[in-house]
């Protein structure tokens, strides 16, 4: 009887530690912090790890639970800026687009900065158009209004004028804008802005 009990306990512990059954081993699995996910995103050579980190950070940003320090956000912006720059290469454009959509709202500050440079303007504008909501539209309008370079006035007008219609992100769990909301934002925000921008 004692031998049977010992074998049963050993089997239960094995199931627990292998992830096939409940037990203390699962409870001790450490939760990966958002700071660690940013580190993985910035330094891992494993594409799958980088993708998982971006997806997790984007999910948590959408849920409003992401916790990042100023340094984390600086690092994140650098990662996104590198992805935007890499999109200039047809070979890397697809991967850059998907990774930015995984990060979702966390990528927006770097995308807004990308509008300031001719070589990254087109890609950044396209991503912002796909990911747009009221806050993004207002941010682009503010950039256009505070722009000091007359040569860029037409670019910002072009960007805003193209923010029409529904969008369909390529990453599961990322919701694009529907036709009704797109029409509302264009009518209430973009059209009045275009009438007053230089």
Digit-coded pLDDT (tens) for 18-28: 443 444 334 44
pLDDT band at 166, cuts 50/70/90?
very high
Of the chain, the percentage scoring pLDDT greater than 70 comes to: 85
Nearest of 152, 163, 155, 154 to residue 187 by alpha carbon: 163
Which position has the token pair 């995103």?
41
Query: What pLDDT does 198 receive?
Result: 85
pLDDT tens digits along 56-86: 999 999 999 999 999 999 999 999 999 999 9
Query: What pLDDT does 157 receive?
Result: 95
CA distances from 188 to 26, 44, 178, 191 (A): 51, 43, 16, 7
Using an 8 Å Cβ cutoff, are 163 and 185 in contact? Answer: yes
- Inform me whether the pLDDT recorded for 152 exceeds 50: yes
pLDDT tens digits along 89-134: 999 999 999 999 999 999 999 999 999 999 999 999 999 999 999 9
Burial of 73 per CB tally in 10 Å (0-12, 13-18, 19+): middle
- 178-196 average pLDDT score: 97
- 183-197 average pLDDT score: 96
Query: What pLDDT does 30 receive?
Result: 56
How many angstroms separate the CA atoms of 112 and 136, rounded? 9
Query: What pLDDT does 31 receive?
Result: 82
- Inform me whether the pLDDT recorded for 1 exceeds 50: no
Of the chain, the percentage scoring pLDDT greater than 90 comes to: 81
Residues belonging to the chain: 198
- 48-59 average pLDDT score: 97
CA angle 169, 173, 177 (to 5 degrees): 45
Instruction: Kindly report the pTM of this predicted structure.
Output: 0.83
Half-sphere exposure of 129 (CA within 13 A, CB side): 19
Query: What pLDDT does 23 receive?
Result: 40
Give 143 or 198, the one with higher predicted confidence.
143
- 170-197 average pLDDT score: 95
CA distances from 104 to 18, 36, 68, 76, 183 (A): 34, 18, 15, 12, 22
And the tokens for 55? 């997806």
């Amino acid at each position: 009887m004692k031998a049977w009990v010992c074998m049963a306990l050993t089997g239960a512990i094995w199931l627990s530690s292998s992830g096939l059954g409940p037990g203390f081993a699962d409870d001790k699995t450490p939760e990966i912090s958002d700071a660690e996910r940013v580190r993985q995103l910035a330094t891992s050579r494993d594409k799958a790890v980088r993708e998982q980190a971006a997806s997790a950070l984007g999910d948590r940003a959408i849920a409003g639970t992401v916790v990042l320090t100023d340094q984390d956000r600086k690092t994140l912006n650098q990662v996104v800026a590198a992805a935007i720059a890499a999109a200039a290469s047809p070979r890397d454009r697809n991967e850059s687009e998907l990774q930015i959509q995984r990060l979702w709202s966390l990528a927006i500050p770097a995308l807004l900065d990308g509008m300031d440079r001719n070589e990254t303007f087109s890609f950044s504008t396209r991503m912002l158009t796909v990911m747009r909501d009221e806050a993004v539209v207002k941010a682009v309008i503010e950039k256009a209004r505070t722009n000091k370079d007359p040569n860029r006035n037409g670019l910002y007008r072009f960007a805003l004028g193209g923010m029409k219609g529904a969008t369909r992100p390529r990453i599961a769990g990322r919701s694009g804008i529907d036709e009704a909301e797109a029409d509302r934002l264009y009518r209430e925000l973009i059209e009045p802005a275009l009438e007053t921008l230089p």
